[in-house]
Amino acid sequence: MHLFPDRSAAGRDVAAALLPLGIQDPIILALPRGGVPVGYEVARELGAPLDVLVVRKVGAPDQPELAIGAVGAAGVTVADEETMALVGVTPEHFGALARAEQAEVARRDAMFRQGQPPLELRGRNVVLVDDGLATGATMRAAVGVARRLGATQVVVAVPVGAPEACERLAALADRVVCLFTPDAFVAVGYWYADFSQTDDADVQRLLRLARQERDARLTSTIHP
């Protein structure tokens, strides 16, 4: 079963769910890479600026796809102590793994931005967007980053998510908009007809296009 043709279509559906909420002057922060095509459509529909918020999963040593936590900008670290205990990772070992991922966060952030400064979040309403939530670890880190950088309101918006991941985020974010929370979640990609990989060049292109389109809207408003 496919709920969404692709990430762009999913983004338009997420935007349609956000519009009635009337979020004032939002900033859309997409989690790269897969969240950026979704976030681009959300930003476009809401007439909002788009930026990236780079977070990295901390994977288990022998199962790198299994998240035992996540890290993000501003030194935010989220540890999943229950999963760490299951796979036998000590806090000390987790700390070393997290530090390595923090270095990768800084590298990717610089690469994606291409010299553009990050948007100022202090006092702003922030919408965090990804293509879906499995464990929700990276999104929990993203919420922590947005809070630490001074966001007034933090909304999480995704097309699909595991019910338990959305429930855990509801305790951290001001609002969680998750269009579908199937009990038999399987994986994020299961709910997309086209879940082809988003590469770094795609992220850079969409960020550049979003800036150009927003500049054009602002210019048309000032000089109708």
Which residues have C-beta within 8 Å of that of residue 133, sequence separation ≥ 6?
139, 158, 160, 161, 162, 165, 166, 169, 178, 188
User: Is 158 a residue whose pLDDT tops 70?
Assistant: yes
What are the structure tokens assigned to 119, written together? 């948007």
Please count the structural domains in the chain: 1
Asked if 180 and 3 touch (Cβ cutoff 8 Å), the reply is yes
Asked if 177 and 17 touch (Cβ cutoff 8 Å), the reply is yes
The range of the structural domain enclosing residue 46 comes to 7-54+122-222
pLDDT tens, position by position, 102-135 = 999 999 999 998 889 999 999 999 999 999 999 8
Task: Report the pLDDT value the prediction gives residue 160, as an integer from 0 to 100.
Answer: 98
- What is the mean predicted confidence (pLDDT) over 175-188? 96
> Is residue 184 domain-resident?
yes
Task: Report the pLDDT value the prediction gives residue 61, as an integer from 0 to 100.
Answer: 92
pLDDT tens, position by position, 16-25 = 999 999 999 9
Q: How confident is the model at residue 175 (pLDDT cuts 50, 70, 90)?
A: very high
Task: Report the pLDDT value the prediction gives residue 10, as an integer from 0 to 100.
Answer: 98
> Is residue 198 domain-resident?
yes
> Is residue 61 domain-resident?
no
> Is residue 65 domain-resident?
no
- What is the mean predicted confidence (pLDDT) over 144-155? 95
C-alpha span between 23 and 206 (Å, rounded):
23
> Is residue 100 domain-resident?
no
> Is residue 104 domain-resident?
no
> Is residue 70 domain-resident?
no
Task: Report the pLDDT value the prediction gives residue 224, as an integer from 0 to 100.
Answer: 63
Question: Within a 10 A sphere around the Cβ of 118, how many other Cβ atoms?
Answer: 14
State pTM to two decimals: 0.91
> Is residue 15 domain-resident?
yes
CATH assignment at residue 180:
3.40.50.2020
